[in-house]
Amino acid sequence: MIKVHHNHEKVNLMSDSIITRFPPSPTGYLHVGGARTALFNWLYARHMNGKFILRIEDTDTKRSTQESVDAILQGLEWLGIEWDEGPYFQSERIDIYKSYVQKLIDTGHAYYCTCSEQEIEDMRQEAVKAGKNPKYNGKCREKGLPKTDNAVVRFKVPYTGTTVLNDVVKKHIVFQHTELDDFIIQRSDGMPTYNFAVIVDDITMHVNTVIRGDDHVSNTPKQILLYNALNEPLPTYAHVPMVLGKDKTRLSKRHGAMSVTEFKDMGILPEALVNYLVRLGWSHGDQEFFTKQELIEKFSLKNIGSAAGIFDHQKLIALNAAHIQASDISYLCRLMIPLLNQIGCNAEQGTFLEKVIFTLQKRSKTLIEMADNARFYYTDAVVYEDQAIQKCFTPASTPLMAALLEQLKQISEFNEKNLESAFHRVVEQTGVKMNQIAQPIRVALTGKTASPGIFEIIEILGQDKAMSRIEKAIMYINEHH
């Protein structure tokens, strides 16, 4: 994937237009928590007719990879999250960060520090012994040191006072300056630190609304101090609760699928995952099912809850089933063709596929399940399940199947109405119940005891294929009894 980089000066929206951003680090896939953060920012921008910016935070050069960039972009595209600007890459913006570092040095808000790692460790140990927080003691703060190869740049945190975060979700949080130390904003190699690069990006990209996980709350006082030192207006902050597993611990691999692409591979519709992720921490009355357009229309920051979202795979699957049922047949066909071809079914767009999908739409919880359930329509050799053989393939069923074959031969127009009549004639002739004939025929046609409606199946398979399968089933029973 080629990096696409747009000049940050292109932003020319009016100051009261909402501008949000999603800034993933390309050190892995797009995970559930990241995807939800992206969705909240994207939905709010769309709801407010604002702008959504994608920014790749790749200053950690050791861990950042192009493969991860591609995975993140593909995940966002699959979810249908389009960005209005970007992706910007922090690694291409180093000169911008350096110019802002210089601004802070020039105004006396930052200084060069040459303390070694050992010196800083000793300072922390001394602080702990004195019953204080382990932190840098400001040794170089007033020295006015020049720039040297081994010097870092530190920000001067006020010794006294507080910084207040007025958060849309968390409300009013007060941070004591005595809890902070003079944190590094530029490393000795010239690279910016996370907290500094973030605020420079947000300032230069005119981001005025920051929606992110509440694990970032502890970073916020440092960022607010930097905004104030640069005399820039603060954005609106909304720190959203984390996504947890059912055991109330932070969501991780042991809870199951974590990356967006894993959910795609499980046969989850992007619309269903979007719906589910947004509902993890946001609500609109008791409504559970939302189309993407409804989410855009109804999303607001004030309805973000303060409790952590609990990820429940079973609820996602149930919601996915609802989205499959609500989906347009032609849309499902487009998604199903590659899945069917992967399992050896020669599927192609057309009436046959549409009929197949129609019979399975209300019976399938995932696209993978739908593909598996569609297999019998395409195979030349039906595989009978053991349980189905024992239950339905008895010597008593062969004369019933043979009687139905005779009826099917006489049908000139192969439709559900005529097929149903044929079955009823066999029931009348033999005196058996409908189920005694329908179940062996179902197994003969599909290999299973559960399937879509028997008349639907026979009509879709067509006269020749249906009769051939019944004949093979009779032969199978005769051979095995």
| pLDDT, position 474 | 96
What is the second-level CATH architecture of the domain 329-480?
Orthogonal Bundle (1.10)
Which of 248, 313, 305 lies closest to 278 in space, CA to CA? 305
Which of 382, 330, 338, 316 lies closest to 361 in space, CA to CA? 330
| pLDDT, position 256 | 64
What is the identity of the amino acid at 445?
A: L
Q: Tell me the per-residue pLDDT of 22-31, one tens digit each, with 9 for 90 and over.
A: 999 999 899 9
Which of 49, 50, 20, 51 lies closest to 37 in space, CA to CA? 20
Low pLDDT (below 50) residues in the chain: 1-14
Active-site residue list:
253
Neighbours of 134 (CB within 10 A): 14
Whether pTM exceeds 0.75: yes
| pLDDT, position 6 | 35
Query: Does the domain formed by 244-326 have CATH 1.10.1160.10?
Result: yes
Per-domain residue ranges of the chain = 244-326, 329-480
Please enumerate in sequence order all residues whose Cβ is within 8 A of that of 11, keeping only pairs 6 or more positions apart, or say none: 19, 51, 85, 205, 206
Contact yes or no for 181/136 (Cβ under 8 A): yes
Which of 364, 353, 280, 287 lies closest to 325 in space, CA to CA? 364
Contact yes or no for 25/72 (Cβ under 8 A): no
Q: Return the residue matching tokens 């692409």.
A: 261
Neighbours of 133 (CB within 10 A): 12
| pLDDT, position 257 | 60
Contact yes or no for 414/463 (Cβ under 8 A): yes
| pLDDT, position 12 | 38
Q: Which two tokens stand for residue 380?
A: 């030349």
